[in-house]
Amino acid sequence: RHFSIFYPPEAVEAGLPERELATVRATGRYEEQGIRVRKDGSRYLASVTVTPVQDRSGAVHGFAKMMRDVTERLSAEEALRAREAHLTSILETVPDAMVVIDEAGLIQSFSATA
């Protein structure tokens, strides 16, 4: 089966699988984060890397493709950014002196009053 089975129909229609291979042929590598499809048809956010498989003479005989599900990692990073933004908002508006320290007791941030 063709590797386009891992792509949503709209990506196949837009020619993404062919563009990936064209990029690998031209540059020797393709990397991106994009939506891919599992066997059960569900979609996920993947970190994608494609590289050529070559023989000793450098002739390309195929491609190696790695797709990692990064959905949870990106969700955790987004949650961390939201918490940091919330803390910054508090530090900018709190009328009291407020200091945030790490486990070692080093100051990480503080309010304007502090």
Beta strands in 1-114 (DSSP E): 30-37, 43-54, 60-69, 99-101, 107-110
Predicted confidence at residue 96, as pLDDT, reads: 86
Asked whether residue 59 carries a pLDDT value surpassing 80, the answer given is yes
Mode of pairing for the β-strands spanning 60-69 and 107-110: unpaired
Task: Compare 79 and 22 and report the one with higher pLDDT.
Answer: 22
Average the pLDDT over each of 9-18, 29-38, 73-82, 100-109 and give the range with the smallest value: 73-82
Q: Which amino acid makes up residue 82?
A: A
SS3 content of the chain, % helix, strand, coil (to 5): 40, 30, 30
- DSSP H/E element including 14: none
